[in-house]
Amino acid sequence: AQKVTQAQTEISVVEKEDVTLDCVYETRDTTYYLFWYKQPPSGELVFLIRRNSFDEQNEISGRYSWNFQKSTSSFNFTITASQVVDSAVYFCAFQGDGGATNKLIFGTGTLLAVQP
Amino acid sequence: GAGVSQTPSNKVTEKGKYVELRCDPISGHTALYWYRQSLGQGPEFLIYFQGTGAADDSGLPNDRFFAVRPEGSVSTLKIQRTERGDSAVYLCASSLTLDDEQFFGPGTRLTVL
């Protein structure tokens, strides 16, 4: 069965600190996608990134970076120089490519609080 | 362009009543998904449509839940004989094709008293 684990329930940092959100997944699929979504207090899920299982290159987008390691089944998300506006719940998600379904399987989320 | 919209934003109903939740996907998106998010949890898949047909309804919890997408655009999630345990935020998402990322709407918060 496929599963996503976000072991960090809550993280609190002070503005300008770097913070890494962990995500570990389980699957027997060889082809799959991994995602990160942000859910601010307003509640709407905001798409951040999608990575294909064949592309292990790290990705950087402004203050955001992602580290995908198939060897450890991890897809971690780092925010550099955090800001108060980064405060939100962050979800990691998995999507298999077995052909039967395109559903997303989400982790339980990590609540990030950035203090001024 | 407009994102995914959902109506109503909030719905309060009494146990045993019937409710309908509506989702308007992004224009041109062929795939539409419904998820349910309980407090403190990640979204859980309910059903998805490719065009007008339900491609996977394995996440629907029981036969009180039903969804339609008759013209391949707007979708309605229908819940019969609501129970208190149905209280949650119901999220809709759409994607351009099955191979593309899903974009979510703001959700409908359903409260069953």
Q: What is the pLDDT of residues B20-61, one digit of tens each?
A: 999 999 999 999 999 999 998 999 999 999 988 888 999 999
State pLDDT tens for residues A67-92: 999 999 999 999 999 999 999 999 99
In one letter, which amino acid is A69?
Answer: Q
Find the farthest-apart pair of alpha carbons in chain A and give their distance in angstroms, rounded: 46
Angle formed at CA A109 by CA A104 and CA A112, multiple of 5 degrees? 140
CB contact under 8 A, A101 and B55: yes
The residue behind tokens 């991890």 is A74
Name the residue among A42, A43, A103 with its Cβ closest to that of B48.
A103
Q: Return the pLDDT at B84.
A: 96
With 80 as the cut, is the pLDDT of residue A100 above it? Answer: no
**A113 close to B (CB below 8 A):** no
- Model confidence at A57: pLDDT above 90: no
Report the residue from A43, A44, A109 with minimal CB separation from B42. Answer: A109
Sign of the CA dihedral B39, B45, B51, B56? negative
List strand residue ranges (DSSP E) for A6-56, in order. Answer: 10-14, 19-21, 24-26, 32-39, 46-52
> Does position B96 have pLDDT exceeding 70, yes or no?
yes
Average pLDDT over residues B87-111: 94
